[in-house]
């Protein structure tokens, strides 16, 4: 039995791509659905290229619509990979402990409402922090607050600007998110990742 996974996105979908590559034949999990709140998300053609059904939400705030779509595909794990809106509370209640999010900083720092995209990296640079990284955590009703499952660290380097730091963090996300999802699929539920695993290139 492979775990049936849905991925929710708002944008280009490079984390989706990393997941699809990691979850090839024989993997313990399979992406069976892509959900987007935007019809112009770059992730949609990426899913199509891998033969994954891609659906655009009519109303991203409607829990019933989410639950209907997730139910139709018998989804067991929901992965937010660059999904920028709040998931309706009704979805979180139904899938509690089975929703993951990837965040481009070392939570609990630099998280919360409005902390997404370049704002995160601008805040990290403005703080003078010497390192940043990626976090994968369980999703609850509050942005970026749920229990942390794994983190990958990257240095902040002299001369960094938000673009350069974002690119370095994104590489870490592309290693970390598939590792956490593979571990969840193998275990049958999300599990914390030992640091040694998360840091392998």
**Binding test (CB under 6 A) with ligand GRF, winner from 88, 104, 133, 190:** 104
Q: Which of 103, 121, 137, 174 is catalytic?
A: 103
Is residue 73 flagged as an active site residue? no
Which stretch of DSSP H or E encloses residue 128? none
SS3 category, 52:
coil
- Single out the segment in contact with ligand GRF by CB under 6 A; choices: 46-54, 101-109, 140-148, 182-190: 101-109
Question: Which of 91/152 has CB closer to ligand GRF?
Answer: 152
Binding region for ligand GRF (CB under 6 A) out of 4-12, 53-61, 124-132, 149-157 = 4-12
Contact 131/152 with Cβ under 8 angstroms? no
Q: Under the criterion CB under 6 A, does residue 20 sit at the interface with ligand GRF? A: no
Q: CB nearer to ligand GRF: give 97 or 117.
A: 117
Please give the C-alpha separations between residue 113 and each of 33, 108, 124, in angstroms, as whole numbers. Answer: 26, 12, 16
176 near ligand GRF, rule: CB under 6 A: no
Residues near 36 by beta carbon (within 8 Å), at least 6 away in sequence: 8, 9, 10, 43, 44, 54, 55, 56, 57
Residue 59 burial (CB < 10 Å; 0-12/13-18/19+)? exposed
Q: What is the smallest separation between the CB atom of 64 and ligand GRF, expressed in angstroms?
A: 25
Q: Does residue 170 interact with ligand GRF by CB under 6 A? A: yes
Given the rule CB under 6 A, which of 27-35, 52-60, 87-95, 96-104 is the region that contacts ligand GRF?
96-104
- Other CB atoms within a 10 A radius of the CB of residue 3 amount to 22
Q: Show Cβ contacts of residue 145 under 8 Å, excluding neighbours closer than 6 positions.
A: 108, 111, 112, 137
Q: 3-state SS of the chain: helix, strand, coil percent to 5? A: 35, 20, 45
The reply on whether position 15 binds ligand GRF by CB under 6 A is yes
Minimum CB separation of residue 190 from ligand GRF in Å reads 17
Residues that bind ligand GRF (CB under 6 A): 9, 11-15, 81-82, 102-104, 116, 170, 173
Q: Which residues are marked as active site?
A: 103
């Amino acid at each position: 039995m492979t775990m049936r996974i849905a991925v929710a996105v708002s944008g280009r979908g490079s984390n989706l791509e990393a997941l699809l590559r990691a979850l090839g034949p024989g993997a313990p999990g399979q992406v069976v659905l892509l959900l987007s709140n935007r019809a112009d998300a770059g992730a949609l053609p990426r899913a199509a290229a891998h033969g994954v059904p891609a659906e655009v939400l009519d109303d991203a705030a409607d829990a019933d619509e989410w639950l209907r779509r997730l139910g139709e595909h018998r989804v067991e794990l929901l992965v937010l990979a660059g999904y920028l809106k709040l998931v309706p509370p009704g979805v979180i209640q139904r899938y509690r402990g089975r929703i993951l999010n990837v965040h481009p900083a070392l939570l609990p720092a630099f998280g919360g409402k409005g902390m997404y995209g370049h704002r995160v990296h601008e805040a990290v640079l403005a703080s003078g922090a010497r390192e940043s990284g990626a976090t994968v955590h369980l999703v609850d009703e509050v942005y970026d607050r749920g229990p942390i499952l794994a983190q990958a660290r990257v240095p902040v380097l002299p001369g960094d600007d938000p673009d350069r730091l974002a690119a370095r963090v994104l590489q870490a996300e592309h290693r970390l998110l598939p590792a956490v999802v593979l571990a969840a699929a193998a275990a049958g539920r999300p599990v914390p990742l030992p640091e040694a695993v998360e840091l392998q290139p």
